[in-house]
Structure 1
Amino acid sequence: MSDSNTTYFTNPSTFILLGIPGLEAAHVWISIPFCAMYIIAVLGNLTILFVVKMDRRLHGPMCYFLCMLAVNDVVLCTSILPKTLSILWFNAREIDFRACLTQMFFLHCFSAMESGILLAMALDRYVAICHPLRHSTILTNTVVAKIGLAMGLRSSLLIVPTPWMVKQLPYCRTNIIPHTYCEHIAIVKLACADIRISNSYGLFVVFFVTGLDVLFITVSYIQILRAIFSLPMKNARVKTLGTCGSHFCAILAFYIPCLFSLLTQRFGHNVPLYFHVLFANVYLLLPPMLNPIIYGVRTRQIRDRLLHLWTYKRA
Structure 2
Amino acid sequence: MTIQSEPGGGRVDPGLSVIMSERRQLINLAYRLLGSLADAEDVVQETYARWYAMSRRQQDAIASPGAWLTRVAGRICLNVLSSARARRETYVGEWIPEPLPDPGEWPGGRPGGATADPADRITLDESVNLAFLVVLDSMTPAERVAFVLHDVFRYSFAEVADIVGRTPAACRQLASSARRRIRGTQAPVAPAARQARIVKDFKRALEAGDIDALIGLLDPGATAVSDGGGLVSTTLHPIEGAERIVRSLVRLRGRLRGLTILERTVNGRPGLVAQQDGVTVSVYGFEVAGDRITHIWAVRNPDKLRPWTTGSPR
Max Rg structure: 1
Both proteins in one fold, TM over 0.5: no
Higher relative contact order (CA 8 A, sep 6+): 1
> TM-score if structure 2 supplies the norm length?
0.30
